[in-house]
Structure 1
Amino acid sequence: MNTFQELGLDEKILQALNDLGISKPTEIQQEAIPFLLKSDQDFIGLAQTGTGKTAAFGLPLLQLIEHDNTTCQAIVLSPTRELAQQIAEGLKSFAKYERKLKVECVYGGAPIMNQMKKLKSKPQVVVATPGRLVDLIKRKAIDIQHLRYLVLDEADEMLNMGFKEELNVILSSTPDDKSTWLFSATMPKIIRKMVDEYMHNPHEISVKSGVEVNKNISHQYMVVKMSDKAEAIKRLMDVETDLFGVLFCRTKIDTQNIADELSRAGYAAEALHGDLSQNQRDLVMRKFKDRAINVLVATDVAARGIDVSDITHVIHHKLPDELEFYTHRSGRTARAGKKGLSIALITKGERRRLDQIERILGIEFEKKMVPTGEEIAARRVEAWSEKVLNQEVVNLPQEFRDKVQESLAVLSKEELVDKLLAMECKQLNMSDSRDINENASHTRSDRSEDGRGSSRSTSHFKNFSINIGKIDSVSKTDVLNIIQEVSGIDSADIGRVEIQQKKAIVEINKKSSPSFAGKFTGFMFDDREIKVSDGGVYTEAPASRGKGRFGGKKSYGGGGGRRSGSDHNRRRDKPRRR
């Protein structure tokens, strides 16, 4: 492995890296840094998050900048405010000994006038979110005519979040002779099209993630119905009294709904997602860091850039769309050599996806049971008795002691314990004490070709028509995910799915069918309302459901919709309430 010195970096940068304790370059850094230092050619670096991409582009960028030139020479684009701040802090730490070099960070959701004042200090490097940069360009608050370098970090995520229009504005407004460096975890067609339009003969490298799952993390799973997942989370919080964690959801709708349900039930939980204002986000994060809340309920995108130590648990309300997201999620715990726990709440239909994570990441999930109400009560009472036993007794006023002893003298020891225990049991929420665990055992032979159960009786199912079809470039898996996320019904209650040109025909268990269509009221898909109606006829034999969600990303309705300039208006590629 090459050293940073062998990669061609200046002494001041090497000194800063040494202060930071960074001594060995990662694979992406070894590949990118020497090329970027010596060539003006456009560049594409394909590597997963967590492989050291900030240093891969940041170190050569800081060295190439003319420090005596106070024009804006480089812009780094990032999908989220948290990631932008993280990049800016990283660049500043790398430039520790470069006194004349200034780095500023601008992002949506914060007062734009304050950021315009900062730009008047003439930073050579600006880290920005796309929407805010477009706002600043329109206000002529930033001069991009002398721009030499444009870096697009997490390009795929920016497009997933709906920044296509802003990226087009930025790429077309900046000088043609600039060098464009694009870093991305994946290279979908939409990015390839952007590359063809705006980049000139780019040099492309691709490195493996190099990211291993932390060995200090224990991986567990529990099998429950979709409708019982919130109850399972409550029970986990009841049993794990020291739980301090992040609960990941795939949609902001689920994120807010689950956080609201937990909060109404008296649990210390709050949501973090893209629909919150910047002030709301800052308040939630401050509460979490101060441990005023036990669980942060977040989407994958909203949780980017969060750096909170001592997180004990990561809980997956639903497995993520992208395989690497599981690594990123679980990596929030077990930091600084500590132990951590990652718990996936899955339905019976998600078991195969769990198998795939195990196989690809080389980890093993241990099956655990959701505690029953009786088990929770027993553990809580045990914890209460230990708390009483360990209660330190100091400086009790004698008059209080005398009065209490006189009042309780009529009780025997057993009677006193019974009364104290009765008081504690009143505090337990035992309104739902049923066993919510599901049996997840299955083999491939007991599944039909399209992934639905083969032993079911069609008489128990009813057909529905949904106005999403082949014209929308959706797969059966996409439709299944939409149905589960919006309606909350279990995968076992969904029968066959057929994708026709302009609609999808689905079978829904009759016990769930009366309320099925109504649950989609007000939900949008690609700027039109999802409509569900009774009936529908199968016209062809069901085909295979194809790849699982980890085989390749499918967005619900695309990521290129029109956005306003503010960055807290989030992605629209999932069904959302109008």
Structure 2
Amino acid sequence: MSFAELPALLAEALAARGYAAPTAVQAAVIAPEAVGRDLIVSAQTGSGKTVAFGLAMHPELLGEDGKIAPTREPHALIIAPTRELALQVSRELIWLYGPTGARIATCVGGMDAAKERRQLNYGAHIVVGTPGRLRDHLERGALDLTALRAVVLDEADEMLDMGFRDDLEAILDGAPDTRRTLLFSATMPKPIVALAKRYQNDALRISTVGEDRGHGDISYQAVTVSPSDIEHAVINLLRFHEAETAILFCATRDNVRHLHATLVERGFSAVALSGEHSQNERNHALQALRDQRARVCVATDVAARGIDLPTLTLVVHVELPRDAETLQHRSGRTGRAGKKGTAVLIVPYQRRRRVEMMLKGARIPVEWVDVPSAEAIREQDRERLITALLAPVEIDEEDAAIAERLLAERSPADIAAALVRAHRAALPAPEELSSQGDRREERQAGQHRPGFDDVVWFRMDIGRRQNADPRWVLPLICRRGHITKNEVGAIRIGPNETSFQIPRALASKFIAAVARTTEGEEDVRIEQSDAPPAQGQGQGARPQRGGPNRPAGGPGAPRHQAKPYRKAPPARGPSHR
């Protein structure tokens, strides 16, 4: 079925927004066999499902003349899991149904409830809201469901995951049995199946997963870093891609706040979205992204759900998602409506195996790449700068007058150099990530550097059998002992034990710091060694502590991932001197 077969006003609204032909999910829900039936729809994020359910319910909303049927009570109810998604749905339905004369009311937490009640009392044809606020209006008598003809549950699986089952059941129990129920869910876990069985009648199953775009419009990349270099990796990824709009995902509000402050301090135009922000603050942040006053958004999973930004081309998973489903929801913020996007996972060294298994299980193709180096970023900057400065521009009389004055006082070469310098000065500086490549062989061989003639040996109860690797062992030593990587001498990794040098002048300070930081973090023990390890491969190892069940990803791996930058060294320079 094509858009031409829809009521004229809807077809005109779609054409005005640039919709030439329906996507797979849109064609499926308006096909003759779907008209008038309950639907269970599985579709990828970004496949046009908001417009799809908007079109699917048009027979219940429009009269024979193609205009909205007169009513005081709502005829359609759309329930979404978050405020942002509900507001996004409202914006879509306003342009789609606006020409028909439809009145649309939005009811979400964090907004003025009294104003929402006035809208409902005035009369709304379509109501869009979150479960908690809708139930509140229902119980207060402000929301009348007696004339309801269609109910849409958008991202139903997410609503159940967020604990809205009771609210959904209260709303659906209050709606007429004759209504249509359209259930949109990216996945079909058992709770969704049970919900459909209880509240739907002979529902038609529609699945377009893999037909609309799958992963085709998103390029997945992964980079491995030391936990202490995660912030540096974020900065270099932003600088390398220079996306028009980028979103960075963190696991907690604290980490959103910390990373946002770091980026602003470094000169990035960034906004933050998390549960601690009011609805007004969220609206301002999203508007700043749409207006291009900000180009980077740091967000938690819940705050970012439902965000639809046409210019969003880069998603960075600063902290790893809890599962492949969350990874796809996050990454689905980009690569929408046929546009290309890039999703990058920042993976601490000790978590790579787990991430590889998750991606393989989800059949997500990923390219493992290096974090962009400072030189690679500068090369990209040069190409982008030349392209920008050679692009044709319109010059008015004032611009021409200033140019003539500059040419009279300076040579063209001087003016061009000043222009380049001005452009480059506005760019945040890239970071040099700490690299153990040059010094690893030196440490493993036990060679002394200047200042390490008088040292104290320490040992840790981890070794090769626990996947000990200098790339994450060195940052662990620095974090526990409150020292820099340049204050660590040779590192020798044995089967079950790792030994390392600390200058004798710093030994007392190191011991005191380790004693303080070990509290509540017993996964790795650090203690002074009575004698240097034997030459070769870290001989003198004692039996492994913690038994055979130590995590294969390296000791303390979950803890390092949970707080990737709260305990990291300062963000200036690789040596942290």
TM-score range, shorter chain: 0.5 to 0.7
Counterpart selection for 2:370 from 368, 380, 404: 368
Q: Secondary structure at the match of 2:302?
A: coil
Q: For residues 81-480 of structure 1, what are the structure 2 equivalents within 5 Å? A: 81-99=83-101, 101-196=102-197, 198-209=198-209, 210-212=211-213, 219-237=220-238, 244-311=245-312, 313-323=314-324, 326=327, 329-330=330-331, 332-333=333-334, 341-348=342-349, 349-351=351-353, 353-354=355-356, 357=359, 363-371=365-373, 375=375, 395=402, 434-435=434-435, 455-456=464-465
Contact 1:223 1:437 in 2 (8 A): no
Q: Per the alignment, in what secondary structure is the counterpart of residue 115 of structure 2?
A: helix
Whichever residue aligns with residue 149 of structure 1, its letter is: A
Higher radius of gyration, 1 or 2: 2
TM-score normalised by structure 2 residue count? 0.62
How far, CA to CA, are the matches of 2:386 and 2:130 in structure 1?
Answer: 51
- Contact 1:244–1:295 under 8 Å retained in 2: yes
Aligned-pair CA distance for 1:541: 7.0
* Structure 2 CA distance for partners of 1:264 and 1:119, relative to 1, 3 Å: same
1:64 alignment partner, one of 43, 60, 63: 60
- Determine what percentage of the aligned residue pairs are the same residue: 30
- Cα gap change, 1:18/1:337 in structure 2, threshold over 3 Å: closer, same or farther? closer
- Conserved? CA contact 2:267–2:428, under 8 Å: no
Give 1:80 deviation, angstroms.
1.9
1:3 partner letter? S
Q: Which residue does the alignment assign to 2:447?
A: none
> Aligned pair count?
445
Tell me which amino acid in the other structure corresponds to 2:93.
L
Q: 1:206 to 1:251 in 2, by over 3 A?
A: farther
CA shift, 1:133, in A, is 0.8
Aligned to 1:52: 48
In 1, the alpha carbon distance for the partners of 2:385 and 2:40 equals: 61
Q: Does the residue aligned with 2:77 lie in a helix, a strand or coil?
A: strand
Which residue of structure 2 lines up, in the alignment, with residue 469 of structure 1?
none
Gap runs ≥5 in structure 2 = 64-68, 391-398, 439-461, 470-492, 497-512, 523-544, 554-562, 567-577
Distance (whole Å) between structure 2 residues aligned to residue 544 and residue 366 of structure 1? 21
Shift of 1:263: 3.2
1:45 is paired with a residue of what secondary structure? strand
Q: Alpha carbons of 1:514 and 1:339: their partners in 2 closer, same or farther (altered >3 Å)?
A: same
Q: Relative to 1, partners in 2 of residues 1:266 and 1:25: Cα closer, same or farther, differing over 3 Å?
A: closer
2:32 counterpart residue number: 34
TM-superposition CA deviations, 1:11-52 (whole Å, max 9, x none) = 54444444442423524642565345334xx44223333333
Cα offset, 1:350, TM superposition:
2.9
Q: Which residue of 2 aligns with 1:73?
A: 75
Provide the rounded CA distance (Å) in 1 between the counterparts of 2:131 and 2:294: 31
Q: Structure 1 residue 130: deviation in Å?
A: 1.1
Residue 171 to residue 454, structure 1, CA distance change in 2 (3 Å): farther
Q: Which secondary structure does the structure 2 equivalent of 1:456 belong to?
A: helix
- Counterparts in 2 of 1:536-551, with a 5 A limit? none
Q: What letter is aligned with 2:35?
A: L
The one of the two structures with greater contact order (alpha-carbon pairs below 8 A, sep at least 6) is 1
TM-score (norm 1): 0.62
CA distance in 1, matches of 2:381, 2:96: 53
What amino acid sits opposite 2:2 in the alignment?
T
Rate the CA distance shift 1:435–1:270 in 2: closer, same or farther, 3 A: farther
Q: Equivalents in 2 of 1:70, 1:432: separation in Å?
A: 63
In structure 1, list runs of 5 or more residues that go unmatched.
Answer: 405-412, 439-452, 461-492, 497-510, 521-536, 546-573
Change beyond 3 A, Cα 1:14–1:283: closer
Q: Distance in 2 between matches of 1:351 and 1:458?
A: 11
8 Å contact kept, 1:32–1:45: no
Question: Residues 29 and 35 of structure 2 are in contact (CA less than 8 Å); yes or no, is this contact kept in structure 1?
Answer: no
Aligned to 1:3: 2
Measured at CA, do residues 189 and 359 of structure 1 come closer, stay the same or move farther in structure 2, by a change above 3 Å?
A: closer
1:237, 1:243 within 8 Å by CA — same for their partners in 2? no
Inter-CA distance 376–54: structure 2 relative to 1 (3 Å threshold): closer
Match of 1:524 in 2: none
Q: Cα distance 1:207–1:433, how it changes in 2: closer, same or farther (>3 A)?
A: closer
Q: Structure 1 residues 540, 338: CA separation in 2 closer, same or farther (over 3 Å shift)?
A: closer
Distance 1:76 1:381 in 2: 46
State the shift of 1:177 in Å: 4.4
Q: CA distance change for structure 1 residues 393 and 240 in 2, over 3 Å: closer, same or farther?
A: farther
Give CA-to-partner distance per residue, 1:474-532, whole Å, 9 cap, x none: xxxxxxxxxxxxxxxxxxx9xx9xxxxxxxxxxxxxx9997466489xxxxxxxxxxxx
Deviates more, 1:76-85 or 1:302-311: 302-311
- Cα distance change, pair 55–312 in 1 and its aligned pair in 2 (3 A): closer
Pairwise CA RMSD of aligned residues? 5.0
Q: Counterparts of 2:437 and 2:218 in 1: how far apart (Å)?
A: 23
1:119 offset after TM fit, Å? 1.5
Give the deviation of 1:78 after TM superposition. Answer: 0.8
Against the structure 1 CA distance between its residues 428 and 178, is the aligned structure 2 distance closer, same or farther, given a 3 Å change threshold? closer
In the aligned structure 2, how far is the partner of 1:172 from the partner of 1:221?
46
Between the aligned partners of 1:74 and 1:160, the Cα distance in structure 2 is 24
Give the Å deviation of 1:156. Answer: 0.8
